[in-house]
Amino acid sequence: MLLIGGFGILPKLQAQSDLQISKVFDQYGERKGVVMVELSDEMLDGYDFSLFKSITIKNNRAAADFIRKCLIKDELGAKKVKQVVANGVPTSIYLQLPRKGEFYRLILFNETFKPEHKITLIYIESKNDSEDVLKLILKKK
């Protein structure tokens, strides 16, 4: 039972490993000027998420470039891509990825320049349709 329980969680851990953005969390997650959050099941009640990971990086243009490159690669496998472009640069990107196993996967990216340069990258897994999740998140205050 322990074994089954133990192995049962592995697919969840591996679900994002095929994505380029997983490198962002690995490389920048524990650096200064960075806030990284991972929420597991017990803290996700009310959101219907299975996994929530976010990273906010301030004043780091190199990181922004790196994230964009990762997103470009992850976009290739995305089911839906939505972007908000300001001055020719996508400031918000939403990637709805194909369902993997029982989870819908979603990547959210936002970049702001005022009052300071700030990048936010969020990765979400949910059993609910990613379209619904996206609407829920974007309207949630």
Partner 1 sequence: MRLKFRHKITFEQADKLIEKYYDGYTTVEEEKLLQDFLTQTNLSAKYKPEQAIFGYFETKKQKPAFNIRPYIRWTGAAVAILVLAVGIQTFAWKNSASYAYVDGVKITNKNEIKTQALASLSNVSADNNEVEQSIENLNDNGIMQQQLDVFSGQGE
For binding to partner 1 (CB under 8 A), which residues are involved?
2-3, 5-7, 9-10, 12-13, 29-43, 52, 54-56, 82, 84, 86, 91-92, 108-110, 112, 118, 120, 122, 134-135, 137-141
Least distance (Å) from partner 1 to the CB of residue 56? 5
Per the structure block, which two tokens stand in for 81?
A: 């891509």
Least distance (Å) from partner 1 to the CB of residue 71? 13
Least distance (Å) from partner 1 to the CB of residue 7? 7
**Which C-beta is closer to partner 1: that of 99 or that of 135?**
135
Distances (CA, A) of 123 to 4, 6, 56, 79: 26, 23, 12, 15
**Which C-beta is closer to partner 1: that of 62 or that of 140?**
140
**Which C-beta is closer to partner 1: that of 46 or that of 62?**
46
Least distance (Å) from partner 1 to the CB of residue 91? 6
**Which C-beta is closer to partner 1: that of 66 or that of 109?**
109
